[in-house]
Structure 1
Amino acid sequence: MLSRGDLTDTEWAVLEPLLPVSDNRCGRWRDHRQVINGIIHRLGTGVHGRELPERFGPWKTVHKRHLLWSADGTWEMLLQHVQAAADADGDIDWNVNVDSTSVRAHQHAAGAPKRPPPTSPSSSKGGTSKISSCPRAHHLAPPGGGSGAPGEALGRSRGGLTTKVHVAAEGRCRPLTLLITPGQRADCTQFEPVMDKIRVPRMGLGRPRRTPDSVGADKAYSNRKIRTYLRKRGIQHVIPEKKDHKAARLRRGSRGGRPKQFRAVATRYDKRGYVYLGTVTAAALLIWLRS
């Protein structure tokens, strides 16, 4: 399976210059490559942290590193860097597609403790992170969106306890942006948040690119509000129209499941919403690195 392989030398060469070099509390970080390989192994297998093979080092180190990088935006910054490099090479197809998928949450994903996410030691004064600081962007649903702890993006739908992953992908099916909501949240309500989150930085001077050439989506996104939003931004779209919408307009007299390669994404094991979003973002990063 794609997601189980360790980082290649080429992939590591892309990530290494961007990673923090020391931890202010206890000196140097444990080997980033070893830890990331442990995270990749969990992404592909969904294995519990305590069952990670010994070659990845202490399982607590792998677990805590993933929690920290999910909380402080490191995964998202790595993803944006890889996207920026691809855009500079003309390797992004800006004919974007928007869709969502419902993910069944494991029973252990419920009951998250109500404590704040961890903070990065490198973000404090005198830190040595090579990634520029940015506001934490969890993009979770507002409190009260479903069962479980508020803001953890867990909800009830026909599949039981679920989380919904909303994605805007470029023409080669690589994720540009993603966010998560409780599973019962309607797709159309997240179209604008997903689109507004598109932001591919430039490698040199210039503003980040935020506007695709065109957008495609299925009938779940067919409504007047979405079409007006795209029209105002000057974005062409291919969104099939629902039969009842056509009939309603005539009466007035006027003129998307996806296969999954990552078990830790296909089934949600993470209790905290920001950690699961980090898991999905890390999977998206791998897709870009290996495309």
Structure 2
Amino acid sequence: MSRGTSPTLASFRLVWGGALSDQEWARLEPHLPKHVGRGGRWRSHRKVINGILFRQRTSVPCRDLPARSGKWKTVHDRHRRWSAHGTWKGTLRAVQADADAEDRIDWSRVSVDSASSRAHQHATGARTAAPCIPERRSQPVQHDPDEALGRSRGGLTCKIHVAGEGGRRPLAFVITPGQWGNAQQLIPVLERIRVPRPAGGQTQTRPDHLGGDKAYSSRRNSRYLRRRQVKRTIPERKDQRANRRRRGSAGGRPVGFDKAVYERRDEVERTVNALKGFPAVATRFDKRAYGFYGTVTVAAIRLWLRS
């Protein structure tokens, strides 16, 4: 600390730069791995995670991380392994479980939306063979042959399909190539909503109400939501409405639509904007799909810790 700088100001600069505050760390630490391996590499969780968050906020290469983050190779390898093994995914569910136990999840207003992330040139050129993870022999999670990259007029992109709750925090998400449609990803996103209840009881997987725009309107999605007894506010597309009317009574009843409820769909849009507020999420720098999935998961964990 330089002469004349107050501890409060120094702490503010550290938190503003992406580091965890003491309160956030107290909520995160119980859900991190406790194992101490050879060399004690799991002893510096907070320092390494602050380095990961610094990269999230600045999108600098790991080699350019500040000295307070420790060795850049440690930051890189730990994020890669925890992304591959699902450690970040399990941590996110544990943080969500704490929020649910404190009744801080609004299950009555869950909405779905998507956002595209431009792929940086460093995100291309991944090898086709699965990466070698020495700690475990199982295949890493979210390892796709296409690495969730799709080519469009703007270049290589990937898409983040998000299910957000009423408090503007992500419940679950799926990473796909950028040219994939939204309607086909509604069911996979909802299937990933799994908030355990440590005090006992069934894992929460079903929202009370689901909202979405016209891109998610399809008979398949309607049947799925009806079977799970999930109320929905999804407007019907013009072609679907015309086709239903043309079929007469065989086309089924009109889709119910509440404009006041639909206006709350901006909550998931603000959730997506909060995720893309991390430059490493707005622009993809990870070659592997599971690596980028871990990057988005870390951003989601940070949003839950801030709430």
Q: By the TM > 0.5 criterion, same fold?
A: yes
C-alpha distance after superposition, 1:189-243 (max 9, x if no partner) = 1111101111100021112111100000110001111111101110000001111
Unaligned runs of 5+ in 2: 1-12, 254-264
If the length of structure 2 is used for normalisation, what is the TM-score?
Answer: 0.83
Q: For residue 24 of structure 1, report the CA deviation from its aligned partner.
A: 3.0
Q: Is the 8 A contact 1:153 1:180 kept in 2?
A: yes
The match for 1:220 among 211, 215, 231 is 215
Q: For residue 157 of structure 1, report the CA deviation from its aligned partner.
A: 2.2
Structure having the larger proportion of residues in helix = 2
Q: 1:3 to 1:253 in 2, by over 3 A?
A: farther
Q: Does 1:262 align with 2:265?
A: no
Q: Match for residue 6 of structure 2?
A: none
In 1, the alpha carbon distance for the partners of 2:112 and 2:223 equals 16
Q: Does 1:37 align with 2:50?
A: yes
- My pick for the range that moved more, 106-115 or 62-71, is 106-115
Q: Is the 8 A contact 2:142 2:289 kept in 1?
A: no
In 1, the alpha carbon distance for the partners of 2:19 and 2:222 equals 43
Q: Match for residue 118 of structure 2?
A: 104
The structure that has the greater radius of gyration is: 2
Unaligned runs of 5+ in 1: 125-134, 142-149
In 2, the alpha carbon distance for the partners of 1:114 and 1:32 equals 31
Q: For residue 140 of structure 1, report the CA deviation from its aligned partner.
A: 5.5
Q: Which runs of 4+ in 1 moved over 4 A?
A: none
Amino acid of the structure 1 residue aligned with 2:26 = A
Q: Match for residue 129 of structure 1?
A: none
Q: For residue 174 of structure 1, report the CA deviation from its aligned partner.
A: 0.5
In 2, the alpha carbon distance for the partners of 1:228 and 1:26 equals 54
Q: Match for residue 76 of structure 1?
A: 89
Aligned positions of 1:131-170 closer than 5 A: 138-139=141-142, 150-170=145-165
Q: 1:262 to 1:85 in 2, by over 3 A?
A: same
In 1, the alpha carbon distance for the partners of 2:162 and 2:16 equals 19
In 1, the alpha carbon distance for the partners of 2:158 and 2:298 equals 17
If the length of structure 1 is used for normalisation, what is the TM-score?
Answer: 0.87
SS of the aligned residue for 1:26 comes to helix
In 2, the alpha carbon distance for the partners of 1:136 and 1:7 equals 31
Q: Match for residue 169 of structure 2?
A: 174
Amino acid of the structure 2 residue aligned with 1:88 = A
Q: Match for residue 99 of structure 2?
A: 86
Q: For residue 139 of structure 1, report the CA deviation from its aligned partner.
A: 4.1
Q: Does 1:13 align with 2:8?
A: no
- Size of the aligned set, in residue pairs, is 272
Q: Match for residue 74 of structure 2?
A: 61
- My pick for the range that moved more, 265-274 or 199-208, is 199-208
Q: Is the 8 A contact 1:139 1:179 kept in 2?
A: no
C-alpha distance after superposition, 1:158-202 (max 9, x if no partner) = 331001111111111211111101111111111111011111000
In 1, the alpha carbon distance for the partners of 2:242 and 2:41 equals 65
Q: Match for residue 297 of structure 2?
A: 281
In 1, the alpha carbon distance for the partners of 2:44 and 2:220 equals 49
Amino acid of the structure 1 residue aligned with 2:280 = A
The RMSD of aligned alpha carbons is: 2.2
